[in-house]
Amino acid sequence: MTGLAWVGLALAAALAYALGYWLLWDVATRLSPATLRRAAAGEGKVALTFDDGPGEVTPRLLDALAALGVRATFFVVWERVRGREELLSRMRREGHEVALHGMRHVHAGLTPPWRAARDLERAAAALAEATGGAALPFFRPPWGSANALQLAACRRRGLRVVLWAVDARDYRADATPSAIARQVVGRVRDGDIVDMHDAGGAAGAPERTLAALPDVVAGLRQRRLEPVTLSELLRAGEEPTSALLRLWEVWEGLFARMEAAVPVGREGLIAISLRTYRGPALTTGDGRLLGPGTPAGEIHLGNYAVSRLAGGPRELLRLRRMLNEAVDDLAAAVARGEFASARLFFGTTLLGRAAAQVGLHAREVAPTPGVRLNVAWMRLLMRIYHPDGAARLRRHPEGLRPMLCWITREELLARHAAHTAAQAEPGAP
């Protein structure tokens, strides 16, 4: 064989090794329904988790969590635990949860096969002993990447692989405390698992995470979300999902970034992206006309709402309540000065009647190609998200009429003022 042929053979062998040992398993883990990213129904809770520690900042982070009245889950690296075992005892004493992040912080693709399973099992055993034999049900692989042998060791030890729904990106050199808080509070939704770091990352990153923590917790609570441990979050049940749904969620995450859509409210039921309105002229409640060119915020409905679009009476009642709360949350956000450039908030939806019942204006729209595409999109979401979506679409095709819904900035401010006054009345809930 020529030298070039040997090089080609070596490259093919390396590719086969990477695919069989790491890459295919890594992709499968990220798409697997067994991998935890969020809870089915957070009931107003999110899991705050910290990776890569313990580190120099960890004791002060525990002080800050205690001052804020927050319990979290710490995914620890065993080599960084040595000499800091007292921190594990303190974590558990103060109501936090300890979970495994590995023997050392090494990417799965760079961990040699003869160490992958052995290191994970040894680290799990050592951590269990250091915590007094407490059950350690969770494992988060470094960088969220696992190989075949690590996954086999997880099965033997009964460890669930945990990733995240929201990455704080607090490990980056350009992550400021305010940017970390915006990243978490702006993207999180009810039931999500949030990934932060108390060690590692760029120089000074853990200090910036510590500085961001009060604003993160305040922002979550402002959205009526309480940070808890992972086990407490999962008591509400795990989210039933599938590989197809995971792929769809990846696409939706990319779409949200492209649209710069900002979630509003606890449930993440709606998100707003600022844009210029291009639709038909709209008449406001006081007779003004808002037409094309008006600075606006487009309302994007979360897929939880779409999945219940053809639901039964109980689901529809809950959806109406959630929509009403979401509009209240949007009104509160506008009153705080968010979306300051928008004079109009609008969206095209199949939930027009429900939107009208919670205070938005609604009108049918002409079946333009864009509207037809929107309807086709929502039908597809129904098929993916609703367990009986395809059958219900066949039974109730007449109910899927697209409508343009809108509300003005002034109407939202008036709504918020009325809501605030009602809350201030004696005996208000």
More reliable by pLDDT, 44 or 251: 44
Task: Mark whether 249 and 284 lie in a shared domain.
Answer: yes
Residues 150 and 169 in one domain: yes
**Pair (417, 268) in one structural domain:** yes
Nearest 5 degrees, angle CA 81-CA 84-CA 90? 105
pLDDT range class, residue 2, cuts 50, 70, 90: low
- pLDDT confidence tier of residue 42, bands split at 50, 70 and 90: low
**Which one is catalytic: 96, 101, 197, 416?**
197
Is residue 361 annotated as part of the catalytic site, yes or no? Answer: no
Q: Is residue 229 domain-shared with residue 365, that is, in the same domain?
A: no
Kindly state whether residues 254 and 167 are assigned to the same domain.
no
Residue 13 lies inside a defined structural domain of this protein: no
Is the dihedral angle over the CA atoms 45, 217, 141, 100 positive or is it negative? negative
Picking from 234, 269, 290, the residue at the C-terminal end of a domain is: 234
Confidence of residue 209 (pLDDT cuts 50, 70, 90): very high
Given the residues 51, 52, 190, 329, the one annotated as active site: 51
Position 94 in a domain: yes
Report d(CA 245, CA 252) in Å as an integer: 10
> pLDDT tens across 219-261, in order?
999 888 999 999 999 886 655 555 556 666 666 667 777 778 8
Domain boundary among 216, 234, 252: 234
Would residue 192 count as lying in a domain?
yes
Same domain for 37 and 151, yes or no, is: yes
| Res. 76 pLDDT band, cuts 50 70 90 | very high
Please indicate, yes or no, whether residues 215 and 264 belong to a single structural domain of this protein. no
Q: Are residues 413 and 291 in the same domain?
A: yes
Q: Is the pLDDT of residue 65 over 90?
A: yes
Residue 327's contacts (CB-CB under 8 Å, 6 or more residues apart) are 358, 359, 360, 407, 412, 415
Average of per-residue pLDDT across 60-76 = 97
Domains of the chain: total:
2
Same domain, 171 and 298: no
- Structural domain contains residue 8: no
CA 374, CA 299: separation in Å to the nearest integer? 13
Question: Is residue 183 one of the residues assigned to a domain?
Answer: yes
Q: Catalytic site residue 51?
A: yes
pLDDT tens digits, one per residue of 298-315 = 998 766 555 544 455 566
Co-location of 129 and 270 in the same domain: no
**What is the extent of the structural domain holding 24?**
20-234
User: Looking at residues 169-173, what average pLDDT do you find?
Assistant: 94
Q: How many CB atoms lie within 10 A of CB 296?
A: 26
Q: Are residues 230 and 251 in the same domain?
A: no
- Single residue among 234, 256, 282 that ends a domain in this structure: 234
